[in-house]
Amino acid sequence: MTDAELRAWIDSQPQTLGNSWIDQLDERKRAEAEFHDEFRADHKNEQKTAPNQRFYEAATIVSDYIDSWIENAGARTGTFLDYACGDGTYTIQAARAGANLAVGIDISETSVRNAGETAAAAGLQTRTRFLQRDCEDTGFPSGAFSTALCSGMLHHLELSRAFPELSRIMAPGGRILCVEALHYNPVIQYYRNRTPELRTDWEKAHILGLTEVNYAKQWFNVENMKFFLMAAPLATFFPRGVVRSGLLQVGHAIDAVATRIPLLQLWSWQFAFELVKA
């Protein structure tokens, strides 16, 4: 499928699907849609407004990694999919990086509308498209995308549906960057259990580990696994200022070594890997 064919197909589809579509989804997906509609109301950014936002100061190393991937591999040409796009930040970035067409999908109608408004304000409405869709059943034509990003969202899905659907809509040789939290660290898992208001029950119970990565090998080759963040998040408990900034640098230096050590690296907060369709 060419870029022009995909653009024409998308433009023939409704952008949002309405309450009747939401109502026919199962309870898990309705909860996801409601949760993220609330989080994205009035263009809120959940990383800036959530009580755990301090930890994302340490996680800039992860967002930098995603930025670099989009700039250097993810969106130089072809069609790019931001799978569960949220506010569309990465979709817009892919368009700016050179993707012929960057598409964001999300189950949240609020997120899709916000993302479209942001792209239009940036003058990128001709190279971006946003659709309200179910990531486990997207409805896209087969082989539509050359690259895709799954950033912090696979744990929201039933992987027995999501992985084959991703395989179906990716072109041969298509490459997907996946960035996820890890479930092994008991301290981090304790925090998740103590803050139920920050996530749905489903996502809390489905944080990824290596079992899920190995499961993906039924449909993809797995490449370039990396681990992030062990010591650096601890620095965010200190007050903002010179001390915190210095401790973040020390934490990232420690993590650069610790996250490369087998077994110890499994205590990382987040990890990334690429799925490549043969």
pLDDT at 43: 63
Average pLDDT over residues 141-161: 95
pLDDT band at 212; cut points 50, 70, 90: very high
Tokens 């990694």 belong to 65
Class of residue 217 by CB neighbours under 10 A (exposed 0-12, middle 13-18, buried 19+): exposed
Q: Is 81 helix (H, G, I), strand (E, B) or coil?
A: strand
The 3-class SS string of 142-192 reads CCCEEEEEEECCHHHCCHHHHHHHHHHHEEEEEEEEEEEEECCCHHHHHHH
pLDDT > 90? residue 266: yes
pLDDT > 70? residue 84: yes
The second-level CATH assignment, the architecture, of 3-51+75-226+267-276 is 3-Layer(aba) Sandwich (3.40)
Among 80-84, 161-165, 233-237, which stretch is predicted with the lowest mean pLDDT?
Answer: 233-237
pLDDT at 45: 53
pLDDT digits (tens, 9 = 90+) for 239-248: 889 999 999 9
pLDDT at 207: 93
pLDDT digits (tens, 9 = 90+) for 91-138: 999 999 999 999 999 999 999 999 999 999 999 999 999 999 999 999
Among 31-35, 128-132, 142-146, which stretch is predicted with the lowest mean pLDDT?
Answer: 31-35
Q: Residue 108 corresponds to which amino acid?
A: S
Domain spans of the chain, in order of start: 3-51+75-226+267-276
- Residue 46 near residue 211 (C-beta atoms within 8 A): no
Pull the structure tokens for residue 8. 């024409």
pLDDT at 141: 96
Q: Residue 110 corresponds to which amino acid?
A: T
Angle between helices 109-121 and 89-97 (to 10 degrees): 40
Q: State pTM to two decimals.
A: 0.92
Neighbour tally for 163: CB within 10 Å: 22
